[in-house]
Amino acid sequence: MSDCLFCRIVDKKIPAKIISETAGLIAIRDVNPQAPVHILIIPKKHIATLNDITQFDADIIADVHFLAKELAEKEKVSEEGYRLVLNTNSGAGQSVFHIHWHLLGGRVMNWPPG
């Protein structure tokens, strides 16, 4: 999608601080971090929300979790704790309609989050 911000980042048409890339995912630093470590994990395939995934996208979900684990270790937050967040639709805080996960760490996370 040419008007999708994350598709344009995936296609390298917009610069971003890419910290990891696999065949199906890209991980970038959030431009408005909400924690000392705030990384966005974005599938290269455009899927608007979690409501739009199909059984054929199951590998994406698994790959996101494995990459999140690796990034948490690399960023040295795996032992103290981190949060992996997926917002679905605007009522939950999704502002870019290309599915993505927020990896947050480096500080104590409160509960409930909202």
The tens digit of pLDDT for each residue in 23-48 reads 999 999 999 999 999 999 999 999 99
Q: Is 100 designated active site?
A: yes
Residue partners of 23: CB distance under 8 A and separation at least 6: 44
The catalytically annotated residue of 46, 65, 98, 100 is: 100
Specify the pTM.
Answer: 0.94
The CATH label, of 3.40.50.150, 3.40.720.10, 3.30.428.10, 2.120.10.30, for the domain at 5-105 is 3.30.428.10
pLDDT in tens, 52-105: 999 999 999 999 999 999 999 999 999 999 999 999 999 999 999 999 999 999
Pick from 26, 18, 30: which is nearest to 46 by CA?
26
Long-range pairs of 23-29 with CB within 8 A, sequence gap ≥ 24: 24/59, 24/60, 24/63, 25/60, 25/63, 25/64, 25/67, 27/67, 27/71, 27/103
Per-residue pLDDT at 1: 62
Tokens read off for 29? 């630093």
Cis peptide before 113 (omega within 30 of 0): no
